Amino acid sequence: MAQGWAARADAKPYLIARLLWFQLALAWLDAGENEECRMKNAELLLGKLKTALRSDVAFMEWTMQPILDHLKPRLSQSSHALLTALVAALNDAKHLPALDAFPAWRDAAPQPLE
């Protein structure tokens, strides 16, 4: 993840959004962080995702159902639902409005990708 993020200047926009998705999923899985720290990290990553998804070329088909199924037992229901909705949005921009059903998405302010 770190190498991919370090090389983001040369990456296609859809790859940047996917790296952020994986960072978010891993942040929610990290049992070593306290809840407050985990939520602040998630808010920052969601803000970066909002910025990444402003690009018309940030969307491309992405098969993630096996990963989502694997993660489901280890995530809260709300985290899993948001990750699932994000996968749909990363596949096709027409699914972006569905993200507004999630307070964490609505409350996250866009953040620079730097």
- 31 pLDDT exceeds 80? no
Q: What is the CA radius of gyration of the chain?
A: 13
For tokens 């899993």, what's the residue? 80
Give the model confidence (pLDDT) of 44-99 as tens digits.
Answer: 999 999 999 999 999 999 899 999 999 999 998 999 999 999 999 999 999 999 99
- Residue 105 token pair: 């998405």
Domains of the chain, by residue range, sit at 2-107
CA-to-CA separations, 105 to 43, 70, 75, 99, in angstroms, rounded:
8, 23, 17, 6
> Distance between CA atoms of 27 and 39, rounded to whole angstroms?
9
For the chain, the average pLDDT equals 88
